[in-house]
Structure 1
Amino acid sequence: YYDRAPHSLFFWCARAAPIGGATPLTDLRQVYRDLDPVVRDAFDQRGVRHIRAYKGPGGGPNLDVFQFKRWHEVYGTTDKAEVERIAAEAGDELVWGRRDRLTLYSTHPATRNHPETGETAWYNHSQVMHLAATPRELMRQARRLQSLRLFGAACLLRVIASAKHRLVPADRQSYHVTYADGGEIPNAHIRHVCDTIWRNTVITPWRVGDVLAIDNASVAHGRTPFRGDRLVAVAWA
Structure 2
Amino acid sequence: MTGIFHPVSETSVKMSFLDPDKQFPLVVEPIAEGLGLWAWATGHRELIESQVLQYGGLLFRNFNVNGSSDLEALIHSLSGEPLEYRERSSPRRTISGKIYTSTEYPAEQTIALHCENSYQESWPMRIFFHCLTPAAVGGETPIADTRKVLTRIDPEIRQRFINKQVMYVRNFYHFLGLPWQTVFQTADKAEVESYCRENKIEIEWMEGGHLRTSVVREPVLTHPQTGEEVWFNHAMFFHVSTLEPEIQEGLLLAFQEDELPSNSFYGDGTPIEASVVKELRQCHQQEMVLVPWQQGDVLMLDNMLVAHGRLPYSGSRQVLVGMAQLIRRDPEIGSALLSKI
Structure 1 moving runs of 4+ over 4 Å: 161-164
CA contact (8 A) 2:173 2:261 kept: no
SS of 2:131's partner is strand
Q: Quick one: which of 109, 113, 118 aligns to 2:227?
A: 118
1:72 and 2:181 correspond: yes
Deviation digits for residues 28-51 of structure 1, max 9, x if unmatched?
A: 111110111121111111100111
Partner of 2:146: 28
* 1:162-177 equivalent positions in 2, closer than 5 A: 163=253, 168=256, 170-177=257-264
Per-residue Cα deviation, 1:203-224 (whole angstroms, up to 9, x for no partner): 1210001111101111111122
Equivalent residues, number:
206
Identify the residue that residue 159 of structure 2 maps to in structure 1. 41
Task: Find the counterpart in structure 2 of residue 148 from structure 1.
Answer: none
Residue aligning to 1:159: 249
TM-score (norm 2): 0.57
| Cα distance between partner residues in 1 of 2:310 and 2:167 | 23
Q: Which has the higher contact order (CA 8 A, sep 6+)?
A: 1
Distance 1:32 1:20 in 2: 28
SS in 2 for 1:229: coil
Give CA-to-partner distance per residue, 1:151-185, whole Å, 9 cap, x none.
xxx3x234335656xx72x4333211001111111
The structure richer in strand per residue is: 2
> 2:273 matched to which residue of 1?
186
Match for residue 81 of structure 1 among 179, 182, 190: 190
Describe the superposition over 1:185-206 as per-residue Cα deviations: whole angstroms up to 9, x where unpaired.
1110010101111111111210
Q: Per residue, is there more helix in 1 or in 2?
A: 1
Q: Which runs of 5+ in 1 are unaligned?
A: 57-61, 136-153
Aligned counterpart, 2:285: 198
One-letter amino acid of the counterpart of residue 72, structure 1: Q
Q: Choose 93-102 or 220-229, whichever is displaced more.
A: 220-229
Matched, 1:12 2:134: no
**Residues 36-72 of structure 1: CA distance to partner in whole angstroms, max 9, x if unpaired?**
112111111110011110124xxxxx3xxxx422112
Judge which range, 39-48 or 86-95, deviates more.
86-95
Specify which of 131, 146, 153 is matched with residue 240 of structure 2.
Answer: 131
Contact 1:8/1:215 (<8 A) preserved: yes
Q: Report if aligned partners of 1:132, 1:162 keep a CA contact under 8 Å in 2.
A: no
What's the % identity of the aligned pairs?
Answer: 32
* CA spacing shift, 1:218–1:233, aligned 2, 3 Å: same
Q: RMSD over aligned Cα, in angstroms?
A: 1.8
Partner SS for 1:25: strand
